[in-house]
């Protein structure tokens, strides 16, 4: 089996993977980073979003081997080792932007990427358009949109 090596949440990691192993499988099964979820496996729900070299990607449609040498950040990496919550995590908590929480890690990783691309002042329309690739089965999105706007502002501080 080919070996793969990458940096995940600031740590160098490596492992033997099959060519078909998905990045999400590598993160969850090899590294036990189970905050990254699988909701569909067909690139629709966004529960699996992580950052690869600073850009949001769906780890269910990225091969582990494609992440060779990459810097990967998962939801666990936003507030490592008991550090305070990332401002976007805090905004989701404050704004009651989750119910079951299944979609939340992907929503937050996408939200942080939206801020990187669109800045800290986000209107509702932009947030709703940009969250097109993230599905929530519970909340009706209203509080998620509020949280993303608040988190974006907080990230400017
Ligand atoms: Fe990746 Fe749904 S599990 S988009
Ligand atoms: Fe349940 Fe979004 S909070 S799927």
87-155 maps to CATH 1.10.150.120: yes
**What was the pLDDT predicted at 76?**
97
| C-alpha of residue 64 to centroid of ligand 1, in Å | 15
The residue contributing the CA closest to ligand 2 atom 1 is 100
**What was the pLDDT predicted at 126?**
98
What tens digit of pLDDT does each residue of 84-140 get?
999 999 999 999 999 999 999 999 999 999 999 999 999 999 999 999 999 999 999
Domain definitions of the chain by residue range: 3-78, 87-155
What tens digit of pLDDT does each residue of 89-101 get?
999 999 999 999 9
| C-alpha of residue 18 to centroid of ligand 2, in Å | 31
Closest ligand 1 atom to 38 CA: 3
CATH topology (fold) of 3-78: Ubiquitin-like (UB roll) (3.10.20)
Which of the ligands is closest to the CA of residue 24? Answer: 1
Q: Which two tokens stand for residue 90?
A: 């805090």
Got the DSSP string for 90-136?
HHHHHTT--SS-SSHHHHHHHHHHHHHHH-S---HHHHHHHGGG---
Q: Is the pLDDT of residue 1 over 90?
A: no
């Amino acid at each position: 089996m080919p070996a793969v090596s990458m940096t995940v949440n600031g740590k160098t990691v490596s492992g033997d993977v099959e060519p078909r192993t998905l990045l999400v499988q590598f993160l969850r099964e090899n590294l036990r980073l189970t905050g990254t979820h699988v909701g569909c496996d067909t690139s629709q729900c966004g529960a699996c979003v992580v950052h690869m070299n600073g850009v949001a990607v769906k780890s269910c449609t990225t091969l582990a081997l494609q992440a060779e040498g990459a810097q990967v950040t998962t939801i666990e990496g936003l507030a490592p080792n008991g550090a305070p919550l990332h401002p976007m995590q805090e905004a989701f908590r404050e704004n009651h932007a989750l119910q079951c929480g299944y979609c939340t890690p992907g929503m937050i990783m996408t939200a942080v990427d939206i801020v990187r691309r669109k800045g800290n002042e986000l209107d509702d329309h932009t947030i709703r358009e940009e969250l097109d690739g993230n599905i929530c089965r519970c909340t009706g999105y209203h509080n998620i949109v509020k949280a993303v706007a608040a988190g974006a502002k907080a990230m400017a501080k």
